[in-house]
Amino acid sequence: MTTSREDLLHAGLAPDTLTVAAGRPPREHDAPVNAPIVLSTTYHETRAPVQGDRVYARGSNPTWDPFEEALGALEGAGLPALVFGSGLGAAAAALSLVPTGGAVVMPRHAYAGSLSLAADLAAQGRFELRTVDVADTAGVIEELSALAARFDAGQVMLWLESPTNPMLEVAELAVLTEAAHATGAIVVADNTFNTPIVHRPLASGVDVVLHSVTKWLAGHSDVVLGALVTTDPALRERLLAHRTLHGAIAGPFEVWLALRGLRTLALRMERSQATAASLAHRLVDHPGVRRVRYPGLPSDPGHARAASQFDGFGGIVSIELDDVETADALVASVRLWLPATSLGGVESLIERRRRQPAEPKTVPEALVRLSVGIENPEDLWADLDKALRHASGRYPTNTTTGTTDTTEVPAR
């Protein structure tokens, strides 16, 4: 008996089950439980190549198949995903769907790499780029309507990211997708922050879902990969052709590591989200914090939308401090949190985002993004609280001795 991708897709399995069950080898006697790594650049040919033959590793690799099947099943695509050598490589393939002379509507706050790539292509004359506040539904629809008056169907792309990076704004995905389709636009949604555990944008009608696999999906800060998922076979063929011709392919070992990481995605997301929520609620009352951005907070502008659309609120928290000096001092003062860019690994990372030259200027200078890992929540809080008080000049006072406590929090 074998367990095929089709069996899993139609078995009604929950996403957390699919992370473990999807993309397994056939259930045959003496077959391996885990998919093996295939390290080969070319394949035996016993006849003239036909559609679907591997032929050469730039077009296909047996190690990609299990990961692509698993991610496609997780997103509810009915088709395997396409893995790319990086998230930006996947973004480039997605943007290739816009015909020359077309237009792209993109959130003003989004992954800086996607924004930079789109801006570069726009500067080359590939398409027009319009940036919008993706949380302003009426404003986005107005922009789409204005473009529809100038462009034919299929010439415009709406690029969604929800929550946005790093401002954590929440878009009305289904509403915006329906409005975009009504104007003939194609819709791409970056689901890196949520992952399929929290949200599956294809169910909202989105045409293509993008992932930086580097982040939550792989989950261990040791691979650089991207992926695209679609329910449309014709779109998938176009994206596959772009990957093959432009060479944005992934190494077999990296994809094998990503599949290994995917197996624990549900558990990691469960822990990260629970800790993120706990930290966010504590940070709201912290004297060293001016504002907390986290969709899980009832006071957050995106809370109602997130609660109605998502199965959770994610593992990213952004905080705004008094000024740049305080924000930099916070990042320099932590001992357990790791000062580094990127996100979604098992370790908790902290970064003042405007340190990155490509970050949009509308992101506050003193905004610090927290990527919450799977460490003990109390250890993370103790380290963060102490660093915040140090950075803002608010040291805790020892109630027994009356002295200021400036001891370091040990990192376990």
Q: What is the pLDDT of residue 324?
A: 97
Give the whole-angstrom CA distance, residue 215 versus residue 224: 8
Answer yes or no: is pLDDT of 122 > 60. yes
Which of 13-17, 356-360, 376-380 comes out lowest in average pLDDT?
Answer: 356-360
Mean pLDDT for 99-107 is: 98
Q: What is the pLDDT of residue 410?
A: 34
Residue-range domain boundaries for the chain: 5-262, 265-392
Give the whole-angstrom CA distance, residue 85 versus residue 89: 6
Is residue 190 part of the annotated active site? The answer reads yes
Q: Which of 24, 200, 215, 353 is catalytic?
A: 215
Q: What is the pLDDT of residue 396?
A: 53
Q: Which of 58, 108, 291, 355 is catalytic?
A: 58
pLDDT in tens, 59-99: 999 999 999 999 999 999 999 999 999 999 999 999 999 99
Mean pLDDT for 208-216 is: 98
pTM for the complete prediction?
0.92
Give the whole-angstrom CA distance, residue 85 versus residue 224: 7
Angle at 212 between CA 163 and CA 155, to 5 degrees: 75
Give the CATH fold of the 5-262 domain.
Answer: Aspartate Aminotransferase; domain 2 (3.40.640)
Confidence of residue 395 (pLDDT cuts 50, 70, 90): low
Check if the beta carbon of residue 315 is closer than 8 Å to that of residue 276. yes
Answer yes or no: is pLDDT of 266 > 90. yes
Answer yes or no: is pLDDT of 18 > 70. yes
Percent of the chain with pLDDT over 90: 88
Which of 3-12, 88-97, 138-147, 187-196 comes out lowest in average pLDDT?
Answer: 3-12
Answer yes or no: is pLDDT of 8 > 80. no
CATH number of 265-392: 3.90.1150.10
Mean pLDDT for 30-37 is: 93
Q: Which of 65, 190, 300, 385 is catalytic?
A: 190
Answer yes or no: is pLDDT of 268 > 60. yes
Q: Which of 5, 24, 65, 111 is catalytic?
A: 111
Q: What is the pLDDT of residue 51?
A: 80
Answer yes or no: is pLDDT of 6 > 60. no
Which of 28-32, 130-134, 216-220 comes out lowest in average pLDDT?
Answer: 28-32
Q: What is the pLDDT of residue 53?
A: 85
Q: Which helix (H) or strand (E) holds 260?
A: helix 252-262
Answer yes or no: is pLDDT of 317 > 70. yes
Q: What is the pLDDT of residue 398?
A: 41
Is residue 215 part of the annotated active site? The answer reads yes
Q: What is the pLDDT of residue 404?
A: 44
Domains 5-262 and 265-392 share a fold: no
The two most distant CA atoms of the chain are separated, in Å, by 85
| 392 Cβ neighbours under 8 A, 6+ residues apart | 287, 288, 321, 322, 326, 329
